[in-house]
Structure 1
Amino acid sequence: MTSIRVLAATAVSAGLLFLTACGDSSDPTQAAPGGAGSTAATDTIVVGSANFQENVVLANIYAGALKAKGVKVSTKLNIGSREAYLPALKDGSIDLIPEYSGVLLQYFDKSATAVSSDDVYAALQKATPQPLTVLKQSAAEDKDAIVVTKETAAKYNLKSIADLSAVAGNLTLGAPPEFQTRTDGIPGLQKVYGVKFKTFKKLDPGGPLTQNALKNGQIDAGDIFTTDPLIAKNGWVVLEDPKDLYTAQNVVPLINAQKASDNVKAALDAVSAKLTTEDLIKMNEQVSLEKQNAEEVAQKWLSDAGLLA
């Protein structure tokens, strides 16, 4: 998913931490054994996550798959956005995190032009800086998307992002704070589509604040991930992206190369070989709508995929 993603405001973080019950209740940016802010033990893989529910589930899947292969694992969840957790990866505070190929490539190389899954992945392998590396990507994909209600789509005859160019000057966009500066955020909307919204409201990365703001009419359009089950439940409209502002965003493990032993790589590659977009949608539904525990959802997926043997 988001091509989905600077830390959100305190209220945003609180809402996300409530949703992702398996997260650490302490400040994830503070020093803790095996957590962000302290160097991980050499014989332990510290798995981190961004601050949205799907990434937390994926982090638990990675952790569970590694544990099943005898790897010592600890987790540090809900760290924040890419701007927060990439420094933690580089300084050794965490070792591994689930990522999304297209947005990660754009983060490392703002001039990247690759669009398809294979091209994005090939470019990402070259662009990823030491000491980091990406392992095999999965077929599972979750993109950022500009989403509106069906009422807004009908009122302004909106089918694609391009249609917003004539009306966005009267509308409010909701998205995480980093959306203001990212290549596929506000700068990309203006450069690629000539879309400039009247107002920008800082919310969370596709989470409950953005969802509720769209549902309640506090925003007219939101940056919401394509695997969000609320899109279908509420009949929301994902605006088409004919100019590929949001490129392929396949789930891929991003890891410190020094921790990528053959055993570790085999366990994570096995996850990537099994994971599908449909799996992401189902697990998001289980956590966000059915209020199941994220770690338990991850363990169930691993069991069903035959990766706990």
Structure 2
Amino acid sequence: MTTRPTRRAALAAGACAVLLTGCGLSGDPLEAAGGGGEACSTEQPQAGPIKVGAADFPESQLIAELYAGALKAKGVNASTTDPIGAREAYLQALGDGSVQVVPEYTNSLLNFLQPDTKVKGTEQIYAALRTAVPCSQVVGAKSTAEDSNAMVVTKETAQKWNLKTVSDLAKRANEVTIAAPPEFRTREQGLVGLKSTYNLTPKAFRPISNTATLAAALKNGQATAANIFSTDPSITTNGFVVLRDDKQLFGSDNVVPLIARSSATPTVQVTLDQVSAKLTTASLAQMLKQVVVDKRDAATVAQTWLRQNKLA
């Protein structure tokens, strides 16, 4: 997974986005309980055009097409935008009203909002996230589809060093070059966490944004290990080995819609929750292969899946 989305200052520029605790609860958009005990606005969400933003990697853009297609099928004037960038950028867009919905990942977003969180477990992470987001946002229902940061090596490296876990890789830290998106350098779910959780400080770090280039760096020996999202087709097509995250640094990353509270009408919430109810890890990986490997149009792939699941 080029990476999911550290310019905290950029996030702070949006008044809504700077609150790191709040009451972003799924269900009733006007619900006021939540993190920090702050009361959310009781202003009614308004029906209107919905722009679905996405991060700058294919899976996020595909999920955005799923959300927009499902909303359009329910009569909502929904469309997708061009890829926005890393998490800092698309959260600011959500905060300033440039977009109304973005696909997110539960553990990655929680760690972004609360870097010191120690929460583990799928349900616990989701519950914590719902109270961590600003009052200006609503967390929709989580899907069972999960796509986590992963440390990946070639089959040859895994066999040579007998690697099965990230802890195994840490024992070879002084021989390891890690390739990953640039923000991996400063993220808790990155080099920072690898050092604190696994005592893994690599010999070298190669910042690479594009997943195909990451895979190539791993194949040609420019990197010993790479950070690639667990559903990325390059893992299976290249026979890479995903190392088990035995100390749970990367956690449980379920796909979830993040909605601007001002646009979270019952129709919008229910529709996006219906997508979450149908979306699985296997179906997401299969659709992503069609987009990345087979070069099919993401909107077309999304529309086919929505029709198959009676959501369009």
Q: 2:149 aligns with which of 144, 147, 169?
A: 144
1:95-132 deviation digits (Å, cap 9, x = unpaired): 11000000000011112122211111000001011211
Match of 1:263 in 2: 267
Task: Report whether the alignment pairs 1:209 with 2:242.
Answer: no
Give SS of 2:102's match. Answer: strand
Consecutive unaligned residues in structure 1, runs of 5 or more = 8-40
Check conservation: 1:3, 1:249, Cα contact below 8 A: no
**In the TM superposition, what is the alpha-carbon distance from 1:6 to its structure 2 partner?**
5.1
Task: Report whether the alignment pairs 1:55 with 2:60.
Answer: yes
More off after superposition, 155-164 vs 271-280: 155-164
- Over 3 Å counting, the alpha-carbon distance change for 1:3 and 1:293 in structure 2 is closer
Match of 1:180 in 2: 185
Task: Report whether the alignment pairs 1:249 with 2:253.
Answer: yes
Q: 2:224 aligns with which of 202, 216, 220?
A: 220
Q: What TM-score do the two structures reach when normalised by structure 1?
A: 0.85
Consecutive unaligned residues in structure 2, runs of 5 or more = 8-45
CA RMSD of aligned residues (A): 1.8
Task: Report whether the alignment pairs 1:121 with 2:118.
Answer: no
Q: 1:5-16 alignment to 2 at 5 Å?
A: 5=5
Check conservation: 1:140, 1:278, Cα contact below 8 A: yes
Tell me the percent identity. 47
Quick one: distance in 2 between partners of 1:5 and 1:149?
Answer: 25
Check conservation: 1:116, 1:248, Cα contact below 8 A: yes
More off after superposition, 231-240 vs 252-261: 231-240
Q: 1:99-110 alignment to 2 at 5 Å?
A: 99-110=104-115
Give SS of 2:273's match. Answer: helix
Q: Which amino acid aligns with 1:299?
A: Q
Quick one: distance in 1 between partners of 2:96 and 2:282?
Answer: 34
Give SS of 1:79's match. Answer: coil
Number of equivalent positions: 274
Q: What TM-score do the two structures reach when normalised by structure 2?
A: 0.84
Q: 1:293 aligns with which of 293, 297, 302?
A: 297
Match of 1:34 in 2: none
**In the TM superposition, what is the alpha-carbon distance from 1:166 to its structure 2 partner?**
2.2
Q: Which amino acid aligns with 1:49?
A: A
Task: Report whether the alignment pairs 1:134 with 2:139.
Answer: yes
**Runs ≥4 in structure 1, deviation > 4 angstroms?**
1-4
Q: Which amino acid aligns with 1:298?
A: A
Q: Which amino acid aligns with 2:72?
A: K
Task: Report whether the alignment pairs 1:306 with 2:310.
Answer: yes
**In the TM superposition, what is the alpha-carbon distance from 1:254 to its structure 2 partner?**
0.5
Q: Which amino acid aligns with 1:97?
A: V
Give SS of 1:248's match. Answer: coil
1:31-80 deviation digits (Å, cap 9, x = unpaired): xxxxxxxxxx9721110000111111100000000000111112213211
1:265-298 deviation digits (Å, cap 9, x = unpaired): 1110110010000011101111111111111111
Quick one: distance in 2 between partners of 1:4 and 1:83?
Answer: 10
